[in-house]
Structure 1
Amino acid sequence: MPIDPDVAIGAELGSLDFTWSESDVLLYHLALGASDLSYTLESAGLQVLPSFGVVAPTFHASDPPPLDLPGCDINLAQVVHGSQSIDLAGPVPTSGSATVTTRISEIWDKGKAAVIWQEGIATAPSGERLWTTRSSIFVKGEGGWGGDRGSSAPVELPERAPDTDTTYDVTPTQALLYRLCGDRNPLHADPEFARAAGFPAPILHGLCSYGIVLRTLTDQLLDGDASRVAGFAVKFAGVVFPGETIRVRGWVEGGRIVGAATVAGGERDGAAVLGDVVLTTV
């Protein structure tokens, strides 16, 4: 079988040493469409959006992301990013080095698809935990072995008006720029590959939408202070095509912000982009 859960679940994927610089941070922020100098100027006031921690280990990769997971015989055309979260021990430094250790934590059997969960823990050279990431990929055409279907409770949005309701215009070339942040999956650049995967055109990276929404909520509801973000989790509910507009709504609820992102305008107005959006604060 293409996925052998007995081999895959709990498999250690090894450790990766990585470094990042202020230039990497600046490029990442620009790829998200940031313009505020607190994100784009190498000065004493430079801050790092916490979502950078998700991409930092592979930021300098120039090949498509590998899928050589133990017990999983799958290919990129089958895969869609399902969800992503990061939990921070503190603000991400503007430059540094770390080691990330990753494992397959769970695999869910959805019948006509499988969901593979990975957990990565990034630690400083001192051994101190910097952040923990958790992500899932949705593998089309797999599943059906009778495994655990998994469980998740949807995030309930308040029935009152949102505390922020704003839009961001994705540029036609945004996915091409974001590729320079370490994700060369041809799904985001090659029209033929995108069509083979079932899309009419290349789509924006899910992690680009992830960063855009985090930046928007931080700027709108946290006074632009990225150090107030303790964690950020989303479910990838749909796709964005370069040139479309993302609408971001957010509600302050106690010690966290809940929200949602959809397409605004055009033929796909209202189409889901990100759901179960939860930003926890310090």
Structure 2
Amino acid sequence: MAIQYPAVLDLKEEGRHFSWTDRDTMLYGLAIGMGADPLDRRELPFVYEEGLRTVPTFAAVAAWGAGITPERIGVNRGKTLHGEEALIVHKPIPVTGSVIADSRVLAVYDKGEGKGAVIQRETVLRDLDSKEALATLTRTAFARADGGFGGPPDTRTMNVTPERQPDVTIELPTRRDQALLYRLCGDRNPLHADPELARAAGFEGPILHGLCTYGMACRAVLQAFCDYDPARIREFSVRFSAPVFPGDLLTVDLWRDAHDVWFEVGVRARDIKVIRNGRATLAQIN
């Protein structure tokens, strides 16, 4: 089934209910490396029920399974990559919560026959009781096999990091078992666990979830410029550019300009960037 444009823009999925507990919040913190040093009093509140805090990017897994499926859109799931992820935080994400998830196809861009398609899907999470919006998630996929359907070209502009040395550089190790832990947050794709399947897909072994790297980048922003206060992150977006293998040492370069933080994530041992065009918008920055 091919993408039917512009009918694809009418696809919606509304009114799905999701809930989480403090256990899910702590599991997510552990899965993105919070609490690696259990004596670090700055990170302990993200993995311990006393004074528990929620990492803002937890919103990406709080309603895992919500959204318009590739099959409904008309693309080949096996040839579709997670290209970008963006988050707007309307209210701090609670440590326990129940939400209504409303999803739609936000935009579809045609790169041309044989060049693929870019698909943006949006999910808004609203508190079940108050109906107030907590977060807006925008997930962008690159469907490599599905261009040439007659849609508009992709004319979006990407975030550009400043042309100067980073203001802060933070190194974050990943663990060899980190993908096995992170998959308990929702994404159980065997590509992140099964060595044989990963090799069949062209990788040397299971890869770390892109959204795990996304969460670790948020952890770096919290550390560098927020004094670990999650309420200071209002927006957060990235572009995924290469896979991370569990055990890689991540290097996060960060630049600050007033309320904006720009960042890139690399693996120096392999001389690659795994996240480009990263941007966070902060509140009450000093």
User: Is this a same-fold pair by TM over 0.5?
Assistant: yes
Partner of 2:117: 114
Indicate if the aligned counterparts of 1:7 and 1:70 stay in contact, CA closer than 8 A: no
Quote the offset at 1:217 in angstroms.
Answer: 1.3
Query: Which of 49, 69, 82 is the matching residue for 1:42?
Result: 49
Whether 1:227 and 2:234 are equivalent positions in the alignment is: no
Residues matched between the structures, number? 272
**Cα distance in 2 for residues equivalent to 1:15 and 1:117:** 20
- Structure 1 pair 10–195 and aligned structure 2 pair: CA distance change class (3 A): farther
Partner of 1:140: 144
Indicate if the aligned counterparts of 1:5 and 1:71 stay in contact, CA closer than 8 A: no
Quote the offset at 1:73 in angstroms.
Answer: 4.2
Partner of 1:26: 26
Amino acid of the structure 2 residue aligned with 1:273: V
Indicate if the aligned counterparts of 1:239 and 1:272 stay in contact, CA closer than 8 A: no
**Cα distance in 2 for residues equivalent to 1:159 and 1:146:** 37
Whether 1:191 and 2:195 are equivalent positions in the alignment is: yes
Query: Which of 69, 77, 92 is the matching residue for 1:67?
Result: 69
Query: Which of 179, 188, 197 is the matching residue for 2:183?
Result: 179
**Cα distance in 2 for residues equivalent to 1:215 and 1:227:** 13
Partner of 2:165: 161
Unaligned stretches of 5+ residues in structure 2:
36-42
Amino acid of the structure 2 residue aligned with 1:169: P
Quote the offset at 1:79 in angstroms.
Answer: 2.0
Whether 1:210 and 2:210 are equivalent positions in the alignment is: no
How does the TM-score come out when normalised to structure 1? Answer: 0.91
Indicate if the aligned counterparts of 2:88 and 2:236 stay in contact, CA closer than 8 A: yes
The two structures, once aligned, show a CA RMSD in angstroms of 1.8
**Cα distance in 2 for residues equivalent to 1:191 and 1:221:** 37
SS in 2 for 1:25: helix
Indicate if the aligned counterparts of 1:236 and 1:275 stay in contact, CA closer than 8 A: yes
Partner of 1:272: 273
- Structure 1 pair 51–30 and aligned structure 2 pair: CA distance change class (3 A): same
Quote the offset at 1:150 in angstroms.
Answer: 1.3
Quote the offset at 1:248 in angstroms.
Answer: 0.2
- Structure 1 pair 6–196 and aligned structure 2 pair: CA distance change class (3 A): farther
Amino acid of the structure 1 residue aligned with 2:255: W
**Cα distance in 1 for residues equivalent to 2:133 and 2:254:** 29
